Chain A
Amino acid sequence: MSDGVSEINQPAMNVSDEVAIAIEKMNKWFGTFHVLRDIDLTVYRGERIVIAGPSGSGKSTLIRCINALEEHQQGSITVDGTLLSSDIKNIDTIRSEVGMVFQHFNLFPHLSILDNCTLAPIWVRKIPKKEAEETAMHFLEKVKIPEQADKYPGQLSGGQQQRVAIARSLCMRPRIMLFDEPTSALDPEMIKEVLDTMVELAEDGMTMICVTHEMGFAREVANRVIFMDEGQIVEQNEPAEFFDNPKSPRTQLFLSQILGH
């Protein structure tokens, strides 16, 4: 666990009372296996939420339901006012508003870094190539690797690839970003560079939901930590409260394991 998260600029991170994501009574099964049980969650614009929990508790499944990479069977998910249904149009709208960063980066290996970043804006948003490239360079500068623009993903380090993945999502100008264990596949020295990028995003007021085991990041950046176990939201609270004064015994057990005492 790296606690090397930079000082952050709290006043810039204002949470509005506008709802970004509303999940109500959502249930999901894989076959007969009940993965998510009665999930109720409201995310406000500008909120930074960290989801923690033991392996197999359904954290990935939950955030993958938000951009319809997984289908839910019961309840409702509303993203930015658009109800997630089986309607392809709604799904596409939501996906272009919601950026996603994966544990294993999932960059497109046959395209250069620049093309990775411009592809979706050009084909989905129909932005002219030149403008898309300018935007891409802007975000590559933001994640501090503009000089790699002409290389291919296979030529970059893991940390660099993950920052490209973040830039690729940002190029679609999403209003919400989802992170699924963005640092778990990285060596310790690369974790910091990715976390720094995420902190910067938070400072810009991005609405973020991160599944992560980086408790330092959760403490410093999140304004709500959610603890999941066996498909349920067991506890949620402000980070200070969550870490110093966990209510449920399951949370206490988890924290004692993950914080190592």
Chain B
Amino acid sequence: MPVERSQIAFVREEQLPERSPPVLETGALKWIRENLLNGVTGTLLTLVSLYAIYFVLSSVLPWIINGLWNTNNIRECKDILAGMSGGCFSVLSDRWNQLLFGITYPNDQYWRPSLAFVLLLIALAPVLFSQVPRQLLVFSALYPFIAFWLIWGGTILFSAVALIGFGVAYMVYSRLVARSFAVAIVVGLLAAVVTWWLGGFVSDAFPDFAALEVVASRDMGGFMLNMILGVVCVSLSLPLGILLALGRQSSMPIIKWICVVFIEFIRGVPLITLLFVANVVLAYFLPPGSNFDLILRVIIMITMFAAAYIAEVIRGGLAALPRGQYEAADSVGLDYAQSMRLIILPQALKISIPGIVNVAVGLFKDTTLVSVISMFDLVGMIRGPILASTDWNGVYWELWLFAAVLFFTVCYGISQYSQWLERQLTTDHR
């Protein structure tokens, strides 16, 4: 039975004016009281922390503000500062190019690695962000070949032949894969090798075709070397790590066994040992006179090292997936490759992101270990030529701070990106 609303309920006609909450319960004051002056212990800790912050800032800020950027050597710095606190940042402006490119990279060619770096950002964009138009992925695929040509120089035919080799391999593979996966892989690889071998004659015949001045691997140095090693090794070790992780789960005993031995062996050896092996020992095994590029050797070692760790991280992700996912993929009729690519790996990789990023960041920092086998990366440059020079002998803080800032920027960027990516991939919020 309908009842008139007004009969059963009193409805207030006008609103009472809003009263603001007591001052001590809102805004900044409340925050301060609850977070900084929370009891005796809290207040004491706040005071101690404030003093620590003051202490650090009061010694660091003058050092930075008084810093000198335009002197020619450390003695001039000392004269001008005359005992005052101040950094001698002139070493950075004086040796800027050496810090970034090493000593022996030809001065008039610095634009090449710089351009390669800018193009790297463009090539990474579509890989890292799905919002970027997919057509740009074509450029990402071409990028390794362009970058090689830019940084090492020589005729562009060399890069072109390498690219065509991959293209031929892919075409052969996609023709044959319907018949047999294994045959397709083997024949595809053979086709690539033949293409490279034949193409070698062509690029040897026209060494001046669209050629840039050749720069040898031993002339690479500075932060550029860290970037080259970091980018190449991360992008190679991820797919290799995935294959190793899948191989370790394989039902084929030989494949499984090979992967287990590889992973366990590499994980049990310090990276620095592998680098010494790359530097010295490999030379014994190679035919005399063959010049197997040192950077290539180092890349192989770091890649294997990181791949073994990534494989274990991904194995954890694979193990975390419920068996129902494998069964559902099977039951709708997907074959092994499809169920891995479409169902299992996307989920396993998502779970593994923090671990993979951990390895990637570690790998990037570990590229500085090459300074131990006398390669002049950023750390090698600072430790060797720059600190050893009479001009800058003794400018430790400024140089190491610079190195720390460069590495921190890249690593923090990677970490922030991965957290953003994890949020993007979350699909289970209601």
Interface of A toward B, CB cutoff 8 Å? 67-69, 88, 92, 95-96, 98-100, 102, 104, 106-110, 119-120, 123-124, 152-155, 168-169, 172
Contact = CB atoms under 8 A, between A and B. Distances in A.
B346 A110 contact: yes
A67 B430 contact: no
B189 interface: no
Contacts of A108: 325, 328-329, 343, 347
Contacts of A96: 332-333
A95 B333 contact: yes
Interface in B322-371: 322, 324-325, 327-335, 338, 342-343, 346-347, 350
Nearest to A91: B330
A110 B353 CA distance: 15
A102 B324 contact: yes
A154 B324 contact: no
B4 interface: no
Given A102-B328, A104-B324, A109 B347 contact: yes
A99 B342 CA distance: 19
- List the 6 shortest-distance A-B pairs measured between CB atoms, nearest first: A154-B428, A96-B333, A106-B328, A120-B332, A106-B324, A152-B427
A92 B327 CA distance: 13
Given A123-B342, A172-B333, A154 B425 contact: no
Given A69-B327, A106-B327, A155 B430 contact: yes
Contacts, number: 72
B427 A95 contact: no
A210 to B, nearest CB: 15
A110 B425 contact: yes
A102 B428 contact: no
B425 A69 contact: no
A123 B329 CA distance: 11
B331 A69 contact: yes
B429 interface: yes
Contact of B428 (A68, A106, A109): A109
B429 A124 contact: no
Contacts of B347: 108-110
A147 to B, nearest CB: 16
A124 B346 CA distance: 19
Contacts of B328: 100, 102, 106-108
B327 A155 contact: no
Contacts of A124: 332-334, 338
A66 to B, nearest CB: 11
A154 B342 contact: no
Nearest to A119: B342
20 contacts: A69-B327, A69-B330, A69-B331, A92-B335, A95-B333, A100-B328, A100-B331, A102-B324, A102-B328, A104-B322, A104-B324, A106-B324, A108-B325, A124-B332, A124-B338, A154-B427, A154-B429, A154-B430, A155-B430, A172-B333
Contacts of A110: 346-347, 350, 425, 427
Contacts of A119: 332, 334, 342
A43 to B, nearest CB: 18
B325 A123 contact: no
A195 to B, nearest CB: 21
Contacts of A154: 427-430
Interface residues of B, number: 23
A99 B331 CA distance: 7
Contact of A106 (B325, B429, B430): B325
A115 B246 CA distance: 25
Contacts of B333: 92, 95-96, 120, 124, 172
A76 to B, nearest CB: 21
B331 A95 contact: yes
A153 B322 CA distance: 15
Nearest to A69: B327
A171 B359 CA distance: 41
A99 B428 CA distance: 25
Interface string B388-430: 0000000000000000000000000000000000000101111
A165 to B, nearest CB: 8
A169 B430 contact: no
A124 B368 CA distance: 48
A104 B346 CA distance: 20
Nearest to A102: B324
B327 to A, nearest CB: 6
Interface string B133-145: 0000000000000
Contact of A67 (B324, B325, B331, B428): B331
A135 to B, nearest CB: 14
A123 B327 contact: no
Nearest to B428: A154
A109 B322 CA distance: 11
Q: Which of B322, B425, B430 has most chain A Cβ within 10 Å?
A: B430
Nearest to A67: B331
Nearest to B427: A152
Nearest to A98: B331
Contacts of A69: 327, 330-331
B210 to A, nearest CB: 41
A120 B330 CA distance: 10
Contacts of B429: 154-155
A153 B427 CA distance: 8
Nearest to A152: B427
B338 A123 contact: yes
A104 B324 CA distance: 8
A172 B333 CA distance: 9
Given A108-B329, A110-B427, A123-B334, 6 more contacts: A69-B330, A92-B335, A95-B331, A108-B325, A108-B328, A108-B343
A108 B345 CA distance: 12
B402 to A, nearest CB: 42
A167 to B, nearest CB: 12
Contact of A152 (B324, B327, B342, B428): B428
A109 B328 CA distance: 12
Contacts of B332: 95-96, 99, 119-120, 124, 168-169, 172
A52 to B, nearest CB: 22
B135 to A, nearest CB: 19
B134 to A, nearest CB: 15
